[in-house]
Amino acid sequence: MKTLEGKTALVTGGTDGVGRLVAQRLGAAGARVLVHGRNAPRGEEVVARIQARGGSATFLPANLASLAAVRELAEAVQQETDRLALLINNAGVGSGRHGAPRETSADGHELRFAVNYLSGFLLTRVLLPVMMAEASSRIVNVASVGQHPIDFDDVMLIHGYDGMRAYAQSKLAQIMFTFDLADELDGSGITANCLHPATFMNTTMVREAGVSPWSTVEEGADAILNLAVSPTLEGRTGLYFDGLRESRANDQAYDSKARQRLRDLSLRLTGPRSRPGA
């Protein structure tokens, strides 16, 4: 990996699984890493590991099931740095056990839509000014190959809830947001790309869903870091990758009207403070 000396990176969900490995590898490459997570002991352990190898890291706690906590996280990032070179929106909630009941966030939104999508939408938009302060910066949204079209008449899945559908819908929302953001930021120096890192990695999320792992977190980390730091992707934006290969997402992601509906809904749900720098 190329040297990242002098660069600051934020990794959400950086205390476990693939996010933990990504944070540690960024630290080893010289980046100052802002490690987000909910579990303070695990967060401090990741920071200690990075520092033990000569790197620089800070733990920033936040429960992304609360939009107020997301705003507090954005404020904490802005207090830590005025230039952010890399934002990796990796934190997420899995599909849960089959037949598990519908859950809601602190704000009353369907939990997977809130944590997997809305939190990253809000965090990214608030942090855009500190990303624009960097000559060239990258946004990487960690999505999934599991994607389900959004029913705009029942986005919160009040009727006929299914955990896998909720998860897949939230992941497609991430991809749609990525494409929309890439168009918005074209020419700004900020690129936005997304990916399915690997299938059923050996992570807590996969194990909690009762699924036997198919791949490793090392494979997933390689794919994420490819979008994050590869020189071959300099200036390229609005892309979806399946692992290390450029691929095609669900058809709804390429529907500009659907993306606009999602953007309008997201701005309403996150409020006026979701504008850049708010």
Give the CATH number, domain containing residue 217: 3.40.50.720
Please check whether residue 244 lies inside any domain of the structure: yes
Give yes or no: 167 in active site.
Answer: yes
pLDDT value at 172 more than 70: yes
Please check whether residue 263 lies inside any domain of the structure: yes
What's the alpha-carbon Rg for the chain, to the nearest Å?
Answer: 17
Provide mean pLDDT across the span 108-122.
Answer: 99
- Bridge pairing between strands 245-246 and 56-61: unpaired
Cβ neighbours around 142 below 10 Å, total = 27
Please check whether residue 268 lies inside any domain of the structure: yes
CA 156, CA 6: separation in Å to the nearest integer? 41
Shortest CA distance to 230 belongs to which of 182, 193, 268, 260?
193
Please check whether residue 1 lies inside any domain of the structure: no
Q: Which domain holds residue 121?
A: 8-274
pTM for the whole structure: 0.93
Shortest CA distance to 66 belongs to which of 20, 113, 102, 119?
119
Instruction: Tell me what pLDDT residue 40 has.
Output: 97
Please check whether residue 227 lies inside any domain of the structure: yes
Joined tokens for residue 83: 């230039």
pLDDT value at 278 more than 60: no
Joined tokens for residue 166: 């909720």
Higher pLDDT, 185 or 217: 185
Q: Active site residue: 117, 161, 167, 254, which one? A: 167
Please check whether residue 247 lies inside any domain of the structure: yes
Shortest CA distance to 224 belongs to which of 3, 22, 4?
22
Q: What is the DSSP letter of 111?
A: H
pLDDT value at 16 more than 90: yes
CA 201, CA 78: separation in Å to the nearest integer? 32
CA 146, CA 62: separation in Å to the nearest integer? 26
Question: Are the CB atoms for 274 and 177 separated by under 8 Å?
Answer: no
Q: What is the DSSP letter of 113?
A: I
Distances (CA, A) of 126 to 31, 73, 129, 141, 265: 22, 10, 7, 15, 17
Shortest CA distance to 49 belongs to which of 16, 1, 89, 88?
16
Please check whether residue 72 lies inside any domain of the structure: yes
What is the average pLDDT value for the chain, to the nearest integer? 93
Chain centroid offset of residue 31 CA: 18
Joined tokens for residue 86: 């890399």
CA 4, CA 22: separation in Å to the nearest integer? 13
- Give me the helix-helix angle, 119-132 and 163-184, nearest 10°: 20
If one counts the domains in the chain, the total is: 1
CA 138, CA 147: separation in Å to the nearest integer? 23
Shortest CA distance to 43 belongs to which of 79, 2, 10?
10
Provide mean pLDDT across the span 39-62.
Answer: 98
Please check whether residue 2 lies inside any domain of the structure: no
Instruction: Tell me what pLDDT residue 107 has.
Output: 98
CA 149, CA 222: separation in Å to the nearest integer? 28
Banded model confidence at residue 66, pLDDT cuts 50, 70, 90: very high
